[in-house]
Chains A and B, each alone.
Chain A
Amino acid sequence: MYSIKLNQFEGPLDLLLDLIEKKKLSINELSLATISDQYLEYLKQLENFPLEEVAGFVVIASTLILIKSKSLIPSLELTEEEEESIGELEERLKQYQRIKELSLNIKKFFGKNLQFSRESFKGMEMGFIEPKKLTLNSVVSIIKEILNNFPKIEKLPEITVKKIISMEEKINELTERIKTKMELSFAEFSKSKKNDNKELKMEIIVSFLAMLELVKRGIIIVSQSKAFDNIRIKNKE
Protein backbone atom coordinates (compact mmCIF):
# COMPACT_ATOMS: atom_id res chain seq x y z
CA MET A 1 0.00 0.00 0.00
CA TYR A 2 0.98 3.51 -0.73
CA SER A 3 2.30 4.96 2.47
CA ILE A 4 2.53 8.58 3.44
CA LYS A 5 4.88 10.10 5.93
CA LEU A 6 2.85 11.79 8.56
CA ASN A 7 2.82 15.46 9.31
CA GLN A 8 4.72 16.47 6.25
CA PHE A 9 1.85 18.34 4.70
CA GLU A 10 0.94 21.93 5.11
CA GLY A 11 -2.75 21.30 4.77
CA PRO A 12 -5.40 19.34 2.92
CA LEU A 13 -4.59 20.86 -0.48
CA ASP A 14 -0.93 20.11 -0.04
CA LEU A 15 -1.79 16.52 0.79
CA LEU A 16 -4.23 16.11 -2.10
CA LEU A 17 -1.86 17.61 -4.59
CA ASP A 18 0.91 15.37 -3.41
CA LEU A 19 -1.28 12.27 -3.78
CA ILE A 20 -2.28 13.28 -7.29
CA GLU A 21 1.21 14.22 -8.40
CA LYS A 22 2.75 11.04 -7.01
CA LYS A 23 0.39 9.11 -9.27
CA LYS A 24 1.26 11.44 -12.13
CA LEU A 25 -2.39 12.30 -12.58
CA SER A 26 -3.78 15.59 -13.69
CA ILE A 27 -6.29 17.41 -11.59
CA ASN A 28 -9.83 16.35 -12.42
CA GLU A 29 -12.80 14.55 -10.95
CA LEU A 30 -11.48 11.16 -11.92
CA SER A 31 -8.12 11.58 -10.25
CA LEU A 32 -9.77 12.96 -7.16
CA ALA A 33 -12.00 9.91 -6.96
CA THR A 34 -8.92 7.73 -7.34
CA ILE A 35 -7.01 9.21 -4.46
CA SER A 36 -9.91 9.82 -2.10
CA ASP A 37 -9.34 6.58 -0.17
CA GLN A 38 -5.73 7.46 0.45
CA TYR A 39 -6.69 10.88 1.65
CA LEU A 40 -9.14 9.42 4.16
CA GLU A 41 -6.58 6.84 5.18
CA TYR A 42 -4.12 9.60 5.89
CA LEU A 43 -6.60 11.41 8.09
CA LYS A 44 -7.15 8.26 10.12
CA GLN A 45 -3.44 7.76 10.66
CA LEU A 46 -2.90 11.30 11.70
CA GLU A 47 -2.22 11.50 15.40
CA ASN A 48 -2.14 14.79 17.26
CA PHE A 49 -4.31 16.18 14.57
CA PRO A 50 -3.75 19.93 14.44
CA LEU A 51 -7.05 21.15 15.78
CA GLU A 52 -7.14 24.40 13.84
CA GLU A 53 -6.84 22.48 10.62
CA VAL A 54 -9.49 19.87 11.31
CA ALA A 55 -12.24 21.80 9.58
CA GLY A 56 -10.23 22.29 6.42
CA PHE A 57 -9.32 18.63 6.19
CA VAL A 58 -12.88 17.50 6.91
CA VAL A 59 -14.53 19.85 4.41
CA ILE A 60 -12.28 18.52 1.70
CA ALA A 61 -12.83 14.96 2.86
CA SER A 62 -16.58 15.43 2.46
CA THR A 63 -16.12 16.73 -1.07
CA LEU A 64 -13.88 13.78 -1.86
CA ILE A 65 -16.48 11.35 -0.54
CA LEU A 66 -19.00 13.07 -2.74
CA ILE A 67 -16.75 12.68 -5.77
CA LYS A 68 -16.05 9.07 -4.91
CA SER A 69 -19.75 8.33 -4.52
CA LYS A 70 -20.52 9.97 -7.83
CA SER A 71 -17.91 7.88 -9.56
CA LEU A 72 -19.28 4.68 -8.04
CA ILE A 73 -22.91 5.52 -8.59
CA PRO A 74 -23.15 7.28 -11.93
CA SER A 75 -26.86 7.76 -11.46
CA LEU A 76 -26.33 9.84 -8.31
CA GLU A 77 -27.97 13.18 -8.66
CA LEU A 78 -25.97 16.03 -7.25
CA THR A 79 -27.40 19.34 -6.21
CA GLU A 80 -26.11 22.49 -7.84
CA GLU A 81 -24.25 23.32 -4.67
CA GLU A 82 -22.57 19.93 -4.59
CA GLU A 83 -21.49 20.28 -8.21
CA GLU A 84 -20.09 23.64 -7.38
CA SER A 85 -18.06 22.41 -4.48
CA ILE A 86 -16.52 19.71 -6.68
CA GLY A 87 -15.64 22.30 -9.30
CA GLU A 88 -14.24 24.56 -6.64
CA LEU A 89 -12.01 21.88 -5.20
CA GLU A 90 -10.58 21.16 -8.63
CA GLU A 91 -10.00 24.81 -9.23
CA ARG A 92 -8.34 25.38 -5.88
CA LEU A 93 -6.03 22.48 -6.47
CA LYS A 94 -5.02 23.90 -9.83
CA GLN A 95 -4.38 27.27 -8.22
CA TYR A 96 -2.34 25.71 -5.52
CA GLN A 97 -0.38 23.67 -8.02
CA ARG A 98 0.34 26.82 -10.00
CA ILE A 99 1.56 28.65 -6.92
CA LYS A 100 3.85 25.76 -6.13
CA GLU A 101 5.32 26.01 -9.61
CA LEU A 102 5.74 29.76 -9.30
CA SER A 103 7.27 29.44 -5.87
CA LEU A 104 10.20 27.68 -7.51
CA ASN A 105 11.02 31.00 -9.18
CA ILE A 106 11.04 32.74 -5.83
CA LYS A 107 13.12 29.95 -4.35
CA LYS A 108 15.60 30.21 -7.21
CA PHE A 109 16.02 33.97 -6.86
CA PHE A 110 15.66 34.46 -3.15
CA GLY A 111 18.80 35.71 -1.48
CA LYS A 112 21.02 34.81 -4.41
CA ASN A 113 21.69 38.21 -5.86
CA LEU A 114 21.06 40.84 -3.31
CA GLN A 115 20.55 44.47 -4.11
CA PHE A 116 21.64 46.78 -1.34
CA SER A 117 20.35 50.22 -0.68
CA ARG A 118 22.43 52.82 1.09
CA GLU A 119 21.14 51.65 4.44
CA SER A 120 23.85 53.45 6.32
CA PHE A 121 22.23 56.72 5.40
CA LYS A 122 18.71 55.52 5.98
CA GLY A 123 16.70 57.86 8.13
CA MET A 124 19.41 60.49 8.13
CA GLU A 125 17.96 63.93 7.62
CA MET A 126 19.61 65.69 4.76
CA GLY A 127 20.12 69.39 5.04
CA PHE A 128 22.64 72.16 5.26
CA ILE A 129 23.62 72.99 8.78
CA GLU A 130 24.70 76.59 8.78
CA PRO A 131 28.04 77.06 10.49
CA LYS A 132 27.28 80.13 12.54
CA LYS A 133 29.99 82.72 13.21
CA LEU A 134 31.90 81.56 10.19
CA THR A 135 33.25 84.53 8.25
CA LEU A 136 36.21 85.03 5.99
CA ASN A 137 37.99 86.87 8.80
CA SER A 138 37.39 84.16 11.33
CA VAL A 139 38.78 81.62 8.89
CA VAL A 140 41.87 83.75 8.35
CA SER A 141 42.47 84.28 12.05
CA ILE A 142 42.01 80.59 12.74
CA ILE A 143 44.52 79.75 10.03
CA LYS A 144 46.97 82.21 11.58
CA GLU A 145 46.49 80.71 14.98
CA ILE A 146 47.14 77.28 13.58
CA LEU A 147 50.29 78.51 11.92
CA ASN A 148 51.44 80.11 15.17
CA ASN A 149 50.88 76.95 17.03
CA PHE A 150 53.18 75.04 14.77
CA PRO A 151 56.21 73.91 16.72
CA LYS A 152 59.02 76.43 16.44
CA ILE A 153 62.17 75.49 14.68
CA GLU A 154 64.51 75.16 17.61
CA LYS A 155 67.75 77.05 17.45
CA LEU A 156 70.73 75.19 18.68
CA PRO A 157 71.70 76.79 21.98
CA GLU A 158 74.68 78.96 21.52
CA ILE A 159 77.31 78.44 24.11
CA THR A 160 78.78 81.66 25.23
CA VAL A 161 82.13 81.01 26.62
CA LYS A 162 82.44 83.34 29.50
CA LYS A 163 85.65 84.94 29.97
CA ILE A 164 86.85 84.03 33.34
CA ILE A 165 88.60 86.84 35.03
CA SER A 166 91.34 85.20 36.86
CA MET A 167 92.83 86.56 39.95
CA GLU A 168 96.25 86.02 38.52
CA GLU A 169 95.52 88.19 35.52
CA LYS A 170 94.32 90.94 37.77
CA ILE A 171 97.33 90.64 40.00
CA ASN A 172 99.63 90.87 37.02
CA GLU A 173 97.65 93.75 35.58
CA LEU A 174 97.78 95.69 38.82
CA THR A 175 101.48 94.97 39.24
CA GLU A 176 102.16 96.22 35.72
CA ARG A 177 100.06 99.33 36.14
CA ILE A 178 101.49 100.26 39.52
CA LYS A 179 105.02 99.93 38.13
CA THR A 180 104.39 102.48 35.41
CA LYS A 181 102.11 104.71 37.42
CA MET A 182 103.14 105.54 40.94
CA GLU A 183 99.61 105.90 42.12
CA LEU A 184 96.14 104.96 40.95
CA SER A 185 92.70 104.72 42.43
CA PHE A 186 90.77 101.51 42.85
CA ALA A 187 87.97 102.94 40.78
CA GLU A 188 90.40 103.42 37.92
CA PHE A 189 91.76 99.95 38.31
CA SER A 190 88.49 98.11 38.55
CA LYS A 191 86.94 100.14 35.75
CA SER A 192 85.70 97.64 33.24
CA LYS A 193 84.95 97.73 29.56
CA LYS A 194 82.03 95.43 30.28
CA ASN A 195 78.51 96.79 30.37
CA ASP A 196 76.97 93.81 32.03
CA ASN A 197 76.22 94.61 35.61
CA LYS A 198 76.94 91.14 36.80
CA GLU A 199 80.29 91.00 35.09
CA LEU A 200 81.10 94.43 36.33
CA LYS A 201 80.56 93.31 39.89
CA MET A 202 82.64 90.26 39.32
CA GLU A 203 85.44 92.37 37.98
CA ILE A 204 85.29 94.66 40.98
CA ILE A 205 85.40 91.75 43.37
CA VAL A 206 88.30 90.12 41.58
CA SER A 207 90.14 93.43 41.37
CA PHE A 208 89.63 93.97 45.10
CA LEU A 209 90.94 90.53 45.90
CA ALA A 210 93.95 91.10 43.64
CA MET A 211 94.63 94.36 45.41
CA LEU A 212 94.46 92.68 48.80
CA GLU A 213 96.82 90.00 47.58
CA LEU A 214 99.38 92.58 46.47
CA VAL A 215 99.05 94.37 49.80
CA LYS A 216 99.77 91.08 51.49
CA ARG A 217 102.82 90.50 49.26
CA GLY A 218 103.99 93.95 50.29
CA ILE A 219 104.05 95.26 46.74
CA ILE A 220 101.49 98.01 47.21
CA ILE A 221 100.15 100.20 49.91
CA VAL A 222 96.51 101.19 49.97
CA SER A 223 94.83 103.97 51.80
CA GLN A 224 91.25 105.15 52.23
CA SER A 225 90.42 108.37 53.94
CA LYS A 226 86.94 107.30 54.96
CA ALA A 227 84.41 104.50 54.42
CA PHE A 228 83.30 104.07 50.78
CA ASP A 229 85.79 106.64 49.69
CA ASN A 230 88.04 105.91 46.82
CA ILE A 231 90.94 103.65 47.65
CA ARG A 232 94.38 104.97 46.73
CA ILE A 233 96.85 102.41 45.55
CA LYS A 234 100.56 103.22 45.72
CA ASN A 235 103.71 101.43 44.79
CA LYS A 236 105.52 100.46 47.94
CA GLU A 237 108.97 100.93 46.42
Chain B
Amino acid sequence: MINLENNIEALLFLKGEPMTIKQLSKILKETESNIESAINSLQTNLSGRGIRLIKKEDSVMLTTSPESSGFTKELMKEEFDSELTKSSLETLSIIAYKSPISRSKIDYIRGVNSAFTVRNLLIRGLVERIVNPKDNRGYLYKPSFHLLQYLGIQDIKDLPEYGEFDKKSEEFIENVKSDEENINSSDSA
Protein backbone atom coordinates (compact mmCIF):
# COMPACT_ATOMS: atom_id res chain seq x y z
CA MET B 1 0.00 0.00 0.00
CA ILE B 2 2.92 2.31 0.79
CA ASN B 3 4.06 1.82 -2.76
CA LEU B 4 0.71 2.88 -4.16
CA GLU B 5 0.72 5.91 -1.89
CA ASN B 6 4.16 6.90 -3.15
CA ASN B 7 3.13 6.47 -6.74
CA ILE B 8 0.08 8.62 -6.26
CA GLU B 9 2.22 11.25 -4.59
CA ALA B 10 4.66 11.19 -7.51
CA LEU B 11 1.91 11.52 -10.12
CA LEU B 12 0.19 14.35 -8.29
CA PHE B 13 3.47 16.16 -7.84
CA LEU B 14 4.29 15.84 -11.49
CA LYS B 15 0.86 16.85 -12.66
CA GLY B 16 0.60 19.91 -10.45
CA GLU B 17 -3.13 20.16 -10.91
CA PRO B 18 -6.12 18.13 -9.83
CA MET B 19 -6.38 14.50 -10.89
CA THR B 20 -9.42 12.35 -10.53
CA ILE B 21 -9.43 9.03 -8.77
CA LYS B 22 -10.46 7.55 -12.09
CA GLN B 23 -7.38 8.88 -13.86
CA LEU B 24 -5.12 7.61 -11.08
CA SER B 25 -6.76 4.23 -11.16
CA LYS B 26 -6.21 3.97 -14.90
CA ILE B 27 -2.54 4.91 -14.76
CA LEU B 28 -1.69 2.89 -11.66
CA LYS B 29 -3.83 -0.07 -12.68
CA GLU B 30 -5.46 -0.29 -9.28
CA THR B 31 -9.09 -0.32 -8.31
CA GLU B 32 -10.65 2.99 -7.50
CA SER B 33 -11.31 1.90 -3.94
CA ASN B 34 -7.62 1.03 -3.47
CA ILE B 35 -6.69 4.42 -4.87
CA GLU B 36 -9.13 6.09 -2.54
CA SER B 37 -7.79 4.46 0.57
CA ALA B 38 -4.20 5.16 -0.49
CA ILE B 39 -5.19 8.79 -1.01
CA ASN B 40 -6.65 8.93 2.47
CA SER B 41 -3.50 7.61 4.09
CA LEU B 42 -1.35 9.87 1.91
CA GLN B 43 -3.41 12.81 3.08
CA THR B 44 -2.86 11.79 6.69
CA ASN B 45 0.85 11.21 6.18
CA LEU B 46 1.31 14.57 4.52
CA SER B 47 -0.58 16.43 7.21
CA GLY B 48 2.57 17.48 9.06
CA ARG B 49 4.58 18.33 5.99
CA GLY B 50 5.20 21.19 3.61
CA ILE B 51 3.11 19.56 0.94
CA ARG B 52 -0.56 18.82 1.43
CA LEU B 53 -3.05 16.75 -0.40
CA ILE B 54 -6.31 18.53 -0.92
CA LYS B 55 -9.44 16.69 -1.89
CA LYS B 56 -12.62 17.78 -3.51
CA GLU B 57 -15.15 15.11 -4.30
CA ASP B 58 -13.34 12.63 -6.55
CA SER B 59 -10.41 14.90 -7.39
CA VAL B 60 -7.17 15.38 -5.52
CA MET B 61 -4.26 17.78 -5.84
CA LEU B 62 -1.00 18.54 -4.10
CA THR B 63 -0.46 22.02 -2.73
CA THR B 64 1.98 23.77 -0.46
CA SER B 65 1.03 23.75 3.20
CA PRO B 66 -1.00 26.61 4.62
CA GLU B 67 1.66 27.04 7.31
CA SER B 68 4.23 27.96 4.67
CA SER B 69 1.90 30.61 3.33
CA GLY B 70 4.08 33.51 4.44
CA PHE B 71 7.01 32.30 2.39
CA THR B 72 5.15 30.84 -0.54
CA LYS B 73 3.28 34.12 -0.96
CA GLU B 74 6.61 35.90 -0.95
CA LEU B 75 7.85 33.65 -3.72
CA MET B 76 4.71 33.99 -5.78
CA LYS B 77 4.90 37.76 -5.45
CA GLU B 78 1.25 38.21 -6.12
CA GLU B 79 -1.27 40.40 -4.49
CA PHE B 80 -3.83 38.35 -2.70
CA ASP B 81 -6.99 40.20 -2.08
CA SER B 82 -8.29 38.58 1.05
CA GLU B 83 -11.18 40.96 1.43
CA LEU B 84 -14.64 39.77 0.59
CA THR B 85 -17.67 42.00 0.50
CA LYS B 86 -20.47 41.23 2.89
CA SER B 87 -22.59 39.69 0.16
CA SER B 88 -19.68 37.69 -1.27
CA LEU B 89 -18.84 36.36 2.16
CA GLU B 90 -22.42 35.29 2.86
CA THR B 91 -22.87 33.71 -0.53
CA LEU B 92 -19.53 31.96 -0.37
CA SER B 93 -20.35 30.63 3.09
CA ILE B 94 -23.64 29.21 1.91
CA ILE B 95 -21.91 27.47 -0.99
CA ALA B 96 -19.10 26.24 1.26
CA TYR B 97 -21.39 24.81 3.93
CA LYS B 98 -24.30 23.69 1.85
CA SER B 99 -22.91 22.65 -1.50
CA PRO B 100 -24.03 21.67 -3.99
CA ILE B 101 -26.73 24.28 -3.90
CA SER B 102 -28.87 26.03 -6.48
CA ARG B 103 -28.95 29.77 -6.82
CA SER B 104 -32.61 29.96 -5.91
CA LYS B 105 -31.78 28.31 -2.58
CA ILE B 106 -28.97 30.76 -2.01
CA ASP B 107 -31.42 33.57 -2.72
CA TYR B 108 -33.92 32.00 -0.38
CA ILE B 109 -31.47 31.73 2.50
CA ARG B 110 -30.16 35.23 2.01
CA GLY B 111 -33.58 36.70 1.26
CA VAL B 112 -32.07 38.61 -1.60
CA ASN B 113 -31.14 38.08 -5.22
CA SER B 114 -27.59 36.78 -5.37
CA ALA B 115 -27.13 36.46 -9.13
CA PHE B 116 -24.50 39.16 -9.31
CA THR B 117 -22.59 37.90 -6.29
CA VAL B 118 -22.61 34.30 -7.48
CA ARG B 119 -21.35 35.36 -10.89
CA ASN B 120 -18.61 37.33 -9.24
CA LEU B 121 -17.52 34.32 -7.19
CA LEU B 122 -17.53 32.21 -10.34
CA ILE B 123 -15.30 34.69 -12.13
CA ARG B 124 -12.90 34.73 -9.21
CA GLY B 125 -12.78 30.96 -9.41
CA LEU B 126 -13.86 30.53 -5.81
CA VAL B 127 -16.88 28.47 -6.74
CA GLU B 128 -17.77 26.29 -9.67
CA ARG B 129 -21.04 25.19 -11.09
CA ILE B 130 -22.47 22.04 -12.52
CA VAL B 131 -25.69 21.41 -14.33
CA ASN B 132 -28.29 20.41 -11.80
CA PRO B 133 -28.68 16.66 -12.31
CA LYS B 134 -32.29 16.89 -11.18
CA ASP B 135 -33.13 19.86 -13.33
CA ASN B 136 -30.97 20.58 -16.33
CA ARG B 137 -32.36 24.07 -16.67
CA GLY B 138 -30.49 25.17 -13.59
CA TYR B 139 -27.07 24.96 -12.04
CA LEU B 140 -25.70 23.83 -8.74
CA TYR B 141 -22.83 25.68 -7.11
CA LYS B 142 -19.92 24.05 -5.34
CA PRO B 143 -16.64 25.12 -3.75
CA SER B 144 -13.67 25.05 -6.10
CA PHE B 145 -10.14 23.82 -5.46
CA HIS B 146 -9.21 27.47 -5.45
CA LEU B 147 -11.49 28.06 -2.49
CA LEU B 148 -9.87 25.23 -0.54
CA GLN B 149 -6.49 26.74 -1.37
CA TYR B 150 -7.65 30.15 -0.21
CA LEU B 151 -9.08 28.78 3.01
CA GLY B 152 -5.99 26.71 3.76
CA ILE B 153 -8.02 23.55 4.23
CA GLN B 154 -7.57 20.13 2.67
CA ASP B 155 -11.21 19.22 2.43
CA ILE B 156 -14.35 21.29 2.64
CA LYS B 157 -15.34 19.05 5.56
CA ASP B 158 -12.43 20.54 7.50
CA LEU B 159 -14.40 23.75 7.91
CA PRO B 160 -15.34 24.34 11.54
CA GLU B 161 -18.84 23.18 12.34
CA TYR B 162 -19.22 21.64 8.90
CA GLY B 163 -22.17 19.33 8.75
CA GLU B 164 -23.75 20.88 11.80
CA PHE B 165 -26.17 22.61 9.58
CA ASP B 166 -28.77 20.38 11.06
CA LYS B 167 -30.63 17.96 8.99
CA LYS B 168 -33.95 19.32 10.09
CA SER B 169 -33.39 22.74 8.59
CA GLU B 170 -31.90 21.08 5.57
CA GLU B 171 -35.14 19.25 5.01
CA PHE B 172 -37.07 22.39 5.69
CA ILE B 173 -35.31 24.29 2.94
CA GLU B 174 -35.50 21.31 0.67
CA ASN B 175 -39.28 21.04 1.02
CA VAL B 176 -40.06 24.69 0.76
CA LYS B 177 -37.80 25.21 -2.16
CA SER B 178 -38.96 22.27 -4.17
CA ASP B 179 -42.42 23.82 -4.09
CA GLU B 180 -41.13 27.24 -4.99
CA GLU B 181 -38.87 26.05 -7.74
CA ASN B 182 -41.77 24.49 -9.55
CA ILE B 183 -43.43 27.84 -9.77
CA ASN B 184 -40.41 30.03 -10.17
CA SER B 185 -37.40 28.41 -11.73
CA SER B 186 -35.53 31.38 -13.04
CA ASP B 187 -32.05 30.32 -12.09
CA SER B 188 -30.19 32.07 -14.81
CA ALA B 189 -26.79 32.82 -13.24
Contacts and interface: CB of A to CB of B under 8 A. Distances in A.
Interface of A: 10-14, 52-53, 56, 60, 88, 91-92, 94-96, 98-100, 102-103, 105-107, 109-124, 126
B109 A92 contact: yes
B15 A106 contact: no
A123 B159 contact: no
The dominant DSSP class at the B interface is: helix
A90 B31 CA distance: 48
Interface string B35-77: 0000000000000000010100000011111110100110010
A48 B80 CA distance: 35
B39 to A, nearest CB: 16
B56 to A, nearest CB: 12
B67 to A, nearest CB: 7
A56 B112 CA distance: 7
Contacts, number: 141
Contacts of B52: 115
A116 B64 contact: yes
A167 to B, nearest CB: 83
B110 A106 contact: no
A18 to B, nearest CB: 12
A111 B81 contact: yes
B90 A116 contact: no
B152 A114 contact: yes
6 contacts: A11-B110, A11-B112, A99-B93, A105-B161, A112-B152, A116-B63
A46 B82 CA distance: 32
A134 B23 CA distance: 33
Interface residues of B, number: 53
A60 B15 CA distance: 51
A110 B112 contact: no
Given A95-B109, A109-B159, A126-B15, 6 more contacts: A102-B159, A110-B84, A113-B66, A113-B67, A115-B64, A121-B16
B131 interface: no
A103 B152 contact: no
A96 B109 contact: yes
A107 B84 contact: yes
A116 B72 contact: yes
A112 B152 CA distance: 7
Contacts of B54: 115
